Amino acid sequence: MGRYIGKRILTGALTVLAAIVLSFLLIHLAPGDPASILSGMDSPSPEMEEALRVKYGLDQPLLSQLWTYLKNLAQGDLGESISNSRPVAELIAERLGPTLLLSLTTAVLSLLLGTALGIYCARRAGSKLDAAMNGVSYLFDSMPGFWLGMMLILIFASSLKILPTAGMVDLRGGYTGFAHYMDVLKHLVLPGLTLTLISTPYFFRIARSSVIQVMSEDFITTLRATGMSESRIFNKYVFKNAILPTVTVFGITLAYIFTGVAVIEIVFSWPGMGSFMLKAIGNRDYPLLMGIYLILSISVAVCMIVVDVIYAFIDPRIRYS
Amino acid sequence: MPILEVRNLSVAYTTKNRRIAAVQGVSLEIEERDAVGIVGESGSGKSTLAMAMLRLLPKNGAEVKGEVLLNGTDLLALPEDKLSKLRWKELAVVFQKSMNSLSPVHRIGTQMADVYRLHESSASKKEAKRRIVELLEMVNLPERVYKLYPHELSGGMMQRVAIALSLMHHPRLLILDEATTALDVVTQGQILEEMMELERKLGITRLMITHDMSVVATSCNKVVVMYAGQVVEAGLVKDVLTKPAHPYTQGLLRSIPSFDGEKSNIRGIPGSIPALDVPLAGCAFAERCEFAAASCRTSKPQLAELPDRRQVACHLRGGEIHAQ
Amino acid sequence: MKRALSAINGNIQLKIGTILIALLVLVALLAPLLATHDPYVLGDELTAPPGAKHLLGTDGLGRDVYSMLVYGARTSLLIGIVAAVISGVIGTLLGGIAGFYRGSVDRTLTEVNNIFLIMPTFFLILLVVAMFGSSMLNVMLIIGLTSWVGNARLMRAQAMSLRERTFVLGAVAIGESKRQILFKHIIPNGIFPIIANTTMNISGAILTEASLSFLGLGDPNVISWGQIVFNGRSYLTSGWWISTFSGLTIVVTVLAFYMIGDGLNRVLSPKLRNNN
């Protein structure tokens, strides 16, 4: 088990390292010189160039520049955002909360919903219901998140007016305490629903194929031959065997959700990290964009490691090997 | 009364546009304390036969006709709840892929205890464990296996676990479906010996499904030879294996090398089994049979009784045993 | 050819999917004939609702939505297919090499695979396009360079099982070089699941491109459905048809490719067929 966990931690660490190296390479390989990329200006002033040169060691050989870059990162320095003139790390820290709220809520919801539906359909594989659910699953998989969000706004917020159109809180409400939480919850519905709808199909498919696979295994036939009831076979034996692959996949789907959340935030003006992405792109605020990229890579790597460690504990084949 | 009587059992797999006749009109009788070997190559229908008898075939996609009488009760006609009461108590099975015969994510002891409680629902945890350890000892496995997971055991050990599991409720009939095929020869020999010892002690009747004639030769007293879903020959092992009557059986025996005796040429049987989705007019073996006559291709031979409890389905049997 | 047609007919997903894509290809090819207006021209009627003159209405700058959608088909198809093919080629090569050569090469490549699996590649794509420019070529390249993970995995599994097959062992015995065996035997025989997967990758590429356009990172010189959705955002309540119809075309196109991919999977690998 130790080896398994060690390997997963290594992969996570390598992923973060890869993201860092790629960012670094981008600064140096993209058209334009690093100084203008880092400052966001086509021709930065001499003082600015000097400051950047000192900070990033721009006149040194590439490898030592990479080392400087890593050192800065280790100290939590992600550079300065051009459009906001504040440290990137600060900006991201402010917005991380809402992004996590939206992503993690969605991750858990789509896991539960997708898995439940997947199991339900697997037991009725081949039926009309199963075929219909498969179709629906593909349908939602084909929708761009931003479009679905806009359509939901159109229907529920604009036409029916039962849910807010944007933001995380009602700025005019001034709610506190419990009312504040309810307000946030009300605003969470549409963006959360959007992200959940496009993430659920993934879990649905994994759960469904996993259950179908397990039900055709030899040991299930053996248990049937003993006269054990179908419900006991399913609830105890099929379930535990089938649920394990779902856990493995959770980590990867989390990565997928973290990717999709940014665009959803833009559509709903949700005050998370994605929300200032649009402006950053327009302003060529590369330090900010790279900061987001790095933080997301780290978040995903951490989540994956946590999920894999949990998996190592619940799968006896890994725990006792 | 025979402990197991199969009357005209037929199994057909139906897919969207094909109907595969895997088992066609098989009848056989097994007396108590017999050790019967059902032999045949892949596709002969022997495994399907076992699954059909145990009612383990999928409900849709498989048509089962005929009767399977266990001590006079037709298993195929029993309602589900009554059948569950019989399962494992009267009739148990050991499958081939032993490594996968138990759930890989539950402990062996847990699963065996679950099976124990199926028929002893009021048993305490201690009682169940006691019985399981007793069974493990019977198959020469240490007590610590109770706490282990399947992947922590070797193939041979798992096979022993599967056997121990099958003996849990003292079944009267035990079906072994290619149970030793996946094992190396040495382990196979050991397990067969242990099995036979247990049978003697516990008075179990065994039905052994295999493609390996040598296993039948060493451990069974009766043999049934199947080809393309039908029984082509049946009888006592000592008779059939020394003086095979059906050309297919002769071919099977000729294809096994022997360590002692003269070096005879090993010959396989050219050709392959006929497609099972097309109904055949004559004998299914006619295409590959060196003695086939015109009538063999047009009329299907029925299983006929010969002296010495021998049965053969062949137009040419007529009492003559063909020389090798 | 006949077998292909009967296979398509037999599987409902393939049938619907192929018909839809065939229609789409036709639309893309015959765009000038099918469009009612020049999609670039800024008309007089701004944000006009769907009607006789403008089948699907106009956007905020007076451009005919229907015509833009028709021309947008070219962009989506081109980017989708080229990006997917690039990812298919890269995935096949890397997966084939990893699965066939095994050893440290395999370990390294698998680790790279795992890294790209975890990494949020969309942001990488975003960064690259933002920094290197958002031409169609860049977009196609970067999407292709980051979405080969699934293909590599499939090909690796195929290579690992194929290398034990008799005809491969025979080729080794004859003395064919490893490179020859890889390209002559392993890849051609293992390619089938990759084809189905690549079809699904087309869907992924189209969605990614749409997201990029939505963020303003698409090629400004071509018409892209994602761009139209983005433009329609400011007019969501006053001109709902702009974003709605453009999004719908994306959904239908992506769905059609998924169906073909799924159908191919069912037809080409019987194991999956039994899940029905």
Chain segment C163-207, per-residue pLDDT in tens: 888 888 888 888 888 788 888 888 888 888 888 899 999 999 999
A157 CB neighbours in chain C (<8 A) are none
Q: Which is it for the CA torsion C223, C224, C226, C228, positive or negative? A: positive
Q: Which position has the higher pLDDT, C39 or A149?
A: A149
Q: Is A118 in the C-facing interface, judged by CB distances under 8 Å?
A: no
**In angstroms, rounded to a whole number, what is the distance separating the alpha carbons of residues A19 and A37?**
18
Sheet architecture: strand order including B222-227: B91-94, B173-177, B205-210, B35-39, B222-227, B230-236, B310-312, B304-306
d(CA A208, CA A118): 4
- pLDDT score for C270: 58
Rg (CA), chain C: 22
- Compute the average pLDDT of residues B173-189: 84
- Asked if A209 and C226 come within 8 Å (Cβ–Cβ), the reply is no
How confident is the model at residue B260, as a pLDDT? 58
Residue A264's nearest CA partner among A90, A99, A121, A128 is A99
* Residue found by looking up tokens 């998996």 in the block: A311
pLDDT at C187: 83
Q: Of the ranges A18-27, A159-168, B232-241, which one carries the lowest mean pLDDT score? A: A159-168
CB pairs under 8 A between A and C: 141
Closest of C136, C147, C109 to residue C226, by C-alpha:
C136
From A153-167, B40-54, B138-152, the region with the lowest mean pLDDT: A153-167
Mutate to test the interface with C, among A259, A263, A277 (most CBs of C within 10 A): A259
> What is the mean predicted confidence (pLDDT) over C62-83?
88
- In this complex, the residue of B86, B101, B119 whose CB is nearest that of residue A219 is B101
Angle at C114 between CA C112 and CA C115, to 5 degrees: 65
Contact status, residue A102 vs residue A298, Cβ threshold 8 Å: no
Q: Do A218 and B114 touch (CB under 8 A)?
A: no
Q: What is the pLDDT of residue C30?
A: 83
The chain B residue lying nearest A240, using CA atoms, is B105
Flag if A225 and B107 touch (Cβ within 8 Å): no
pLDDT of A248 reads: 83
What does the pLDDT read at residue B318? 47
Q: How far is B147 from chain A (nearest CA, A)?
A: 11
Which of C127, C210, C255 is the closest to A139 by Cβ?
C255
Structure tokens at A234: 């399913």
Cβ atoms of residues C208 and C161 within 8 Å:
no
- The chains found to touch A (3+ Cβ pairs under 8 angstroms) are B, C
- Nearest chain C Cα distance for residue A107, angstroms: 15
Chain A residues with CB under 8 Å of B162 CB are: 222
Contact between C123 and A146 using a beta-carbon 8 Å cutoff: no
Helix, strand and coil content of chain B, in percent to the nearest 5, comes to: 35, 25, 45
Do residues B101 and B178 touch, judged by C-beta distance below 8 A?
Answer: no
Instruction: Check CB contact of A113 with chain C, cutoff 8 Å.
Output: no
Test C130 with A284 for CB contact under 8 angstroms.
yes
Give dist(CA B102, CA B108) in Å, integer. 7
Residue with tokens 């860049």: C138
Query: What pLDDT, on the 0 to 100 scale, is given for residue C4?
Result: 67
CB-CB under 8 Å, A153 with C244: no
Q: Out of A152-156, B220-224, C3-7, C16-20, which region has the weakest mean confidence (pLDDT)?
A: C3-7
Taking CA atoms, what residue in C is nearest to A258?
A: C120
Write the residue in A225, A240, A317 that is nearest to B149 by C-beta: A317
Contacts of A37 in chain C (CB under 8 A): 131
C-alpha to C-alpha distances, C105 to A307, C95, C96, C100, C157, nearest whole angstrom:
27, 11, 11, 10, 15
Interface with C, mutate which of A3, A88, A150, A194 (most C CBs under 10 A): A150
A150 to C122: CB separation less than 8 angstroms, yes or no: no
ipTM score assigned to the predicted complex: 0.85
Q: Average the pLDDT over A230-241 and give the result.
A: 91
CA distances from B96 to A67, B89, B162, B197 (A): 59, 21, 10, 20
C70 with C37: CB under 8 angstroms?
no
Which are the contacts of B143, defined by CB distance < 8 A and separation ≥ 6? B133, B136, B137
Is the CB of residue A297 less than 8 Å away from at least one CB of chain C?
Answer: yes
**Mean pLDDT, to the nearest integer, of C67-84?**
90
Q: What integer is the mean pLDDT of B261-287?
A: 74
pLDDT computed for residue B320 by the predictor: 42
Q: What is the pLDDT of residue B258?
A: 63
- In this prediction, residue B110 carries a pLDDT of 92
Residues of B in contact with A217 (CB under 8 A): 100
CB B239 within 8 A of CB B310: yes
* Neighboring chains of B (3 or more beta-carbon pairs < 8 A): A
Supply the pLDDT for residue C103: 87
pLDDT on residue C274: 40
Distance CA B317, CA B306 (A): 9
C-chain residues within 8 Å CB-CB of A138?
A: 255, 258-259, 262
SS3 B39: strand
Instruction: Assess A154–C contact: CB distance below 8 Å, yes or no.
Output: yes
Instruction: Report the residue from A11, A126, A147 with minimal CB separation from C247.
Output: A147
Instruction: List the single residue in A226, A232, A315 with the smallest CB-CB distance to B105.
Output: A315
Which positions in chain B touch A225 (Cβ < 8 Å)? 54, 56, 87-88, 92-93
Mutate to test the interface with A, among C114, C118, C143, C237 (most CBs of A within 10 A): C118
Distance (Å) from the alpha carbon of A46 to chain C's nearest alpha carbon? 23
- Helix and strand totals (H; E) in chain A: 14, 0
Pair C192, C92: CB distance under 8 Å: no
Instruction: Looking at the complex, report in whole angstroms how far the Cα of residue C191 sits from the nearest Cα belonging to chain A.
Output: 23
φ/ψ of residue B225, rounded to 5: -105, 125
- Looking at per-residue confidence, does C193 or B323 come out higher? C193
pLDDT at C145 (0 to 100) = 93
A321 at interface of C, judged by CB pairs closer than 8 A: no
Query: Which of A159 and A129 is assigned the larger pLDDT?
Result: A129
| Beta bridge partner(s), residue B21 | B12
Mean per-residue pLDDT for C140-145?
93
Q: Which residues of A touch C114 (CB under 8 A)?
A: 11, 15
Res C1: pLDDT = 65
Which structure tokens are listed for A55?
A: 């900070």
Which residue would you say has higher pLDDT here, B285 or B205? B205
pLDDT of C91: 93
Q: What's the whole-number mean pLDDT along residues B261-270? A: 67
Q: Which residues pair with B176 in a beta bridge?
A: B94, B208
CA distance A232 to chain B (A): 10
Q: For an interface test with B, which of A222, A223, A248 has the most B Cβ atoms less than 10 Å from its Cβ? A: A222
Q: Among B84, B101, B106, whose Cβ lies nearest the Cβ of A222?
A: B101
Q: Which of A158, A252, A300 sits opposite C237 (nearest CB)?
A: A158
Partner residue opposite C236 with nearest CB, options A153, A252, A266: A153
Which of C130, C226, C229 shows the shortest C-beta gap to A289?
C130
| Confidence category of residue A197, pLDDT binned at 50, 70, 90 | very high
Q: Are A317 and B151 in contact (CB under 8 A)?
A: yes
Return the structure tokens found at A295. Answer: 């933080």
Could you give the count of Cα atoms lying within 13 Å of B183 in the half-sphere of its Cβ?
24
pLDDT in tens, A92-131: 888 888 888 999 899 999 999 999 999 999 988 888 899 8
**Neighbour subunits, C (≥3 Cβ pairs < 8 A):** A
Per-residue model confidence (pLDDT) at position B223 = 93
A48-86, pLDDT tens digit by residue? 777 777 777 777 777 777 777 787 777 777 777 777 778
pLDDT score of A319: 84
Contact A228/B at CB under 8 A = yes
Q: How far is B6 from chain A (nearest CA, A)?
A: 19
List CB contacts (< 8 A) between C233 and chain A: 150, 267
For residue A129, what are the CA distances in angstroms to A71, A209, A234, B166?
56, 16, 20, 38
- Contact of A237 with chain B, judged by CB distance below 8 Å, is answered with yes
Angstrom distance (rounded) from CA C162 to CA C139 = 35
pLDDT of residue B112: 92
Q: Which of A100-109, B246-255, C5-14 has the lowest mean pLDDT?
A: C5-14
End-to-end CA, chain C: 26
With CB atoms and an 8 Å threshold, state whether B100 touches A244.
no
The Cα A96–Cα A74 span in angstroms is: 19
Of A23, A143, A286, the CB nearest to C251: A143
Any residues with CB less than 8 A from the CB of A287 and at least 6 apart, and which?
Answer: A38, A40, A78, A79, A80, A81, A82, A88
What gap in Å lies between CA C213 and CA C72, rounded to an integer? Answer: 12
Query: Taking CB atoms and an 8 Å limit, are C275 and A278 in contact across chains?
Result: no
- Contact A320/B at CB under 8 A: yes
